[in-house]
Amino acid sequence: MDRIIQQTDYDALSCKLAAIAKGYLPAPQFSDPNEIESYKLIHSAYFNTLKTHSRRIYGKINKSISSSFPVMNIGTYLRTVALDSQIETFLQKNDKVQIINLGCGSDLRMFQLLNKYDNLTKYLDLDFKDSIYFKNDILWNTELFRDTLHLERSNETDGELAHSDRYKLISCDLKDTTNTMTILQSLTDSQIPTLVITECLLCYMPQLESQTLINSIISFYRVGEWLSYDPIGGDQPNDRFGLIMQTNLRESRNLEMPTLMTFNSKESYASRWNIISNDIKTNIDIKDMWEIFNSDIEPTEKQRLKKLQFLDEFEELKVMQTHYVLLNAQWEHAL
């Protein structure tokens, strides 16, 4: 099952590269003009280097890019800009911060963020061993990546591979909370404001393991913020989105989302971060992606999106985006 879950990273990478190829990303509304070419260059270099490591994966992703549909490209656009916007807000409001990207896969945010924010003292990428070693090979074998991240010689002690003073690439099984927390405690500072990112990670974890991970991280860091992007099954009597998604995943990939129908609404999904404690103050905000499309995307940006590809599946886009959520949970321990 773990190996099947790891394969979903290639889907996410395909979607990101397709959205870039079609002009959806980077989005002018959320991007500094000086960063746009750098953004494209980083992703292009990663994709081109991937070809030398696995022609099979390269071919699969290349095929997906050429056949991408607008409904998927807009979904990837929303997912990316919504997360990026909240990440930047966190970085701009704190003097000294650290970021932990759990289930990072092929995500490349660390390049822009480490380059742009001197107050970002540490950026950790964590994922399954196979995913991390694959990413490590690409980073180490690309001069642009080595130079940009200031990578040092690899050191496989405790699963740590590519690394610099500020960037760590680490292999671990996130279902093993004890080992995960041992790693985080050794590499990060519990007193520094900490941002945790999970993109389509918790939906693949069993309920007990995911809740234990959430509770452990919130208990360890004095001040923190958690950004989590996931699908929800839907809680209305006539809503079959989650059931159909589960059936399709089982039949096509033998893949399960254990909590898709357990946390099937915004309220139930957000309840996982409601830590009942006199010592911890929490504030939780959650929106579905359709709400974000209507509230956060400027009219001029919506017009730009319309011109990129003809979209005749507008209702399908709405249904899909109302079943994906972005949660922002903030917490602070009493002094």
Q: Which DSSP helix (H) or strand (E) runs through 119?
A: none
Residue 174 annotated in ligand binding: yes
Query: What Å distances lie between residue 158 and 57, 212, 220, CA to CA?
Result: 28, 22, 20
Cross-strand bridge partners of residue 55:
none
Contact 170, 183 (CB under 8 A): yes
Alpha helices (runs of H) in 192-287, residue ranges in sequence order: 207-220, 241-253, 266-270
Contact 257, 245 (CB under 8 A): yes
Residue 173 annotated in ligand binding: yes
Dihedral (CA of 39, 40, 41, 45) sign: positive
Residue 79 annotated in ligand binding: yes
Q: How far apart are CA 117 and CA 95, in angstroms?
A: 10
Residue 304 annotated in ligand binding: no
Strand order in the sheet with 167-171: 160-163, 167-171, 120-127, 97-102, 194-199, 223-231, 324-333, 280-288
Residue 260 annotated in ligand binding: no
When computed from its CA atoms, the radius of gyration of the chain, rounded to whole angstroms, is 19
Q: How far apart are CA 158 and CA 170, in angstroms?
A: 8
| Burial letters 288-301, b for 16+ CB under 10 A, else e | bbbebbeebbeeeb
Contacting residues for 54 by C-beta, under 8 A, at least 6 apart: 134
Q: How far apart are CA 94 and CA 333, in angstroms?
A: 16
Q: Which DSSP helix (H) or strand (E) runs through 38?
A: helix 33-53
Query: What Å distances lie between residue 257 and 226, 243, 262, CA to CA?
Result: 21, 11, 10
124 closest CA partner among 155, 152, 154, 103:
103
For the annotated binding site for S-adenosyl-L-methionine, the residues are: 79, 103, 173-174, 199
For the annotated binding site, the residues are: 79, 103, 173-174, 199
